Amino acid sequence: MSLSDVAVELYGLAPGEFVAARAERVATAKAAGERELAAAIGALRRPTVAAWAVNLLARSASEEVGALLALGDALRTAQRELSGPRLRALTAQRGQVVNALAKRAAELAAEQGRPVGDAVLREVGNSLTAALADPEVAEKVRLGTLASATSYDGFGPAGPELAVVAAPKPPAPAKKAPQRDSAKQRRAEAAAERRREIERRIAAAEAELGTAESERDSAEKAATAAAETLRDNAARIEELRAELAAAEERHRFARTAERAARETLRAAETETERARRRVETARRALPGQDRP
């Protein structure tokens, strides 16, 4: 029994089952004399709902998650090569894939009887985005052993590390030049560095533009769908109002008919009683009938 195996097993459970199962694995490790392993298992944190949803996604849609992580490799390659158009296209694709997988995770959670809200859905999307930039997070997502939601503000290593990775290798040191050429060389190197910095900024801006356009497209689709739903609901409300008006009219007619029928019934009962009395009177008038 290894820590990795135990983690994969525990993080595949529902959050409510995690603590009891962890305690059982700790006891098993202690009984086997593996105290270091027992301590490491005990240090595993109970997953948050968002992390559990990501882990569930990794197990139920492993191929889709693998494709997402492969997309992260392509994004890093495009960024290293400062390929603006490709980086922009891949970034837009990233937004679409992350949104689709986050929604799939929400569906899987609902199927498990634990529907998630918008806040958790955002945490799932942020964690998937972070997995594209952070290899450690990517491995946890791939194995389905994420303990808590995570996020990342940009793509690739942060700050100065990005500059080191993205920048081309500096030219090899030149042979010692005469003193009069040193100032010219420094100016050329400074200009090359400025150009690289500008190219890095352009690539980052294009990546942000791709993300913004993807989010805009998603928001536009959502707004269009909401507007259609609103129109359908308004039309249905009008239909129901018309049906209600017709039903109320039929009800008024039925009530009027019911009152008329009751009046007719009372009149018929009165006339029946009168006829009965006339029959009794006529019978008493027959010869041989006892008189009162």
Give residue 89's pLDDT band: very low, low, confident or very high (50, 70, 90): low
Rounded CA gap, 180 and 25, in Å? 73
Q: Is the pLDDT of residue 161 over 50?
A: no
- Convert the chain into a string of H (helix), E (strand) and C (coil): CCHHHHHHHHCCCCHHHHHHHHHHHHHHHHHCCCHHHHHHHHCCCCCCHHHHHHHHHHHHCHHHHHHHHHHHHHHHHHHHCCCHHHHHHHHHHHHHHHHHHHHHHHHHHHHCCCCCCHHHHHHHHHHHHHHHHCHHHHHHHHHCCCCCCCCCCCCCCCHHHHHHHHCCCCCCCCCCCCHHHHHHHHHHHHHHHHHHHHHHHHHHHHHHHHHHHHHHHHHHHHHHHHHHHHHHHHHHHHHHHHHHHHHHHHHHHHHHHHHHHHHHHHHHHHHHHHHHHHHHHHHHCCCCCCCC
Write down the pLDDT at residue 133. 80
pLDDT of residue 187: 83
pLDDT at 164 over 50: no
Please give the share of the chain, as a percent, with pLDDT higher than 90.
30
- State which of 38-52, 94-108, 250-264 shows the largest mean pLDDT: 38-52
Mean pLDDT across the chain: 78
For residue 233, pLDDT beyond 80: yes
pTM beyond 0.75? no
pLDDT at residue 163 above 50?
no
pLDDT of residue 203: 52
- State yes or no: pLDDT of 207 exceeds 70: no
* From 112-121, 247-256, 271-280, the region with the lowest mean pLDDT: 247-256
Give the pLDDT confidence of 266-276 residue by residue, as tens digits: 889 898 999 98
CA gap 147, 281 in Å, rounded: 101
Query: What does the pLDDT average to over 54-62?
Result: 91
